Amino acid sequence: MRIVFTKDYEEMSLHAAKIVAGQLYLKPNSVLGLATGSTPLAMYRELIRMNRENGLDFSETVTFNLDEYIGLGQEDENSYYYYMYHNFFNHINIRQSNIHIPSGLPENVEEECQKYDDLIAQSGGIDLQILGIGQNGHIGFNEPDIKFEATTHMVKLDDDTIKANARFFATVEEVPIHALSMGIKTIMHARKILLLANGAAKAEALFRTLYGGITPETPASILQLHQDVTVIVEEEAARLLR
């Protein structure tokens, strides 16, 4: 694992955007695994700027998002579909047909999960996976558990996650309690992984992820077994690492 220490959120985000851009310059038809949440927002902003000003080309890029809330349609402002279009896809030259996000309103959950995994496999697997980390050590919505879930699956969100994500909703009751999430095996099969962490609230989870035992109770700890992970942290999240 490479750990890159940065001084603040901005520097973390610019560094991450450069890695994504480097990937796309080397392989324009890369398959990117994407995250939502607060963490990657400024990275997306920088990638949009690079698309506009530096000619960073997304026309052949394929994307798969990590997760989606169950019960939220595409037009719901809290859906990850809405987040991705609003914060990224609407502003770059990506093809709509190359964008993949699990459905928040699946007719059949098992079929949706299987379809998602099949599509990832047909696309040749993920070249570069972007990850944030939950305060409880989750990646995607793989919550602390007694085992690692391998493939795309339905998750019941932890109370901690619901509380942490309530900041985006009017009330905590509005936060969906279920989500679809890419599984750990799919994430671990990505050729490269970029984990971003900022803010004091992530410090403990990050410490356990990097230096604790490998356990499904800290899902991100599995990343210790991946051969190409870059962790980019800013000062507050890195508090326990030095």
Catalytic (active-site) positions = 67, 136, 138, 143
Query: Which lies closer to ligand F6R via its Cβ, residue 39 or residue 98?
Result: 39
Q: Report CA torsion sign: 226, 231, 237, 241.
A: positive
- Which of 39, 51, 63, 98 binds ligand F6R (CB under 6 A)? It is 39
- Which of 30, 48, 62, 67 binds ligand F6R (CB under 6 A)? It is 67
190 binds ligand F6R (CB under 6 A): no
Taking the alpha carbons at both ends of the chain, their separation in whole angstroms is 15
30 binds ligand F6R (CB under 6 A): no
Return the SS3 of 153. Answer: strand
Positions of E strands within the chain: 2-6, 31-34, 62-65, 67-69, 99-100, 128-131, 153-156, 178-181, 192-197, 229-234
Closest of 55, 49, 8, 67 to residue 28, by C-alpha:
55
Query: Which lies closer to ligand F6R via its Cβ, residue 60 or residue 236?
Result: 236
139 binds ligand F6R (CB under 6 A): yes
36 binds ligand F6R (CB under 6 A): yes
Which residue is associated with the tokens 């942290």?
Answer: 233
Query: Which lies closer to ligand F6R via its Cβ, residue 60 or residue 212?
Result: 212
Q: Residue 90's Cα: distance from chain center in Å?
A: 18
Specify the stretch interacting with ligand F6R by CB under 6 A; choose among 17-25, 109-117, 127-135, 211-219.
127-135
112 binds ligand F6R (CB under 6 A): no
- Which of 1, 21, 37, 145 binds ligand F6R (CB under 6 A)? It is 37
Q: How far apart are CA 174 and CA 205, in angstroms?
A: 26
Specify the stretch interacting with ligand F6R by CB under 6 A; choose among 4-12, 105-113, 131-139, 206-214.
131-139
152 binds ligand F6R (CB under 6 A): no
Contact present, 221 and 145 (Cβ < 8 Å): no
Q: How far apart are CA 8 and CA 25, in angstroms?
A: 26
Torsion of CA 93, 131, 97, 53, to 10 degrees: 0
35 binds ligand F6R (CB under 6 A): yes
138 binds ligand F6R (CB under 6 A): yes
- Rule CB under 6 A: which residues touch ligand F6R? 35-39, 66-67, 132-134, 138-140
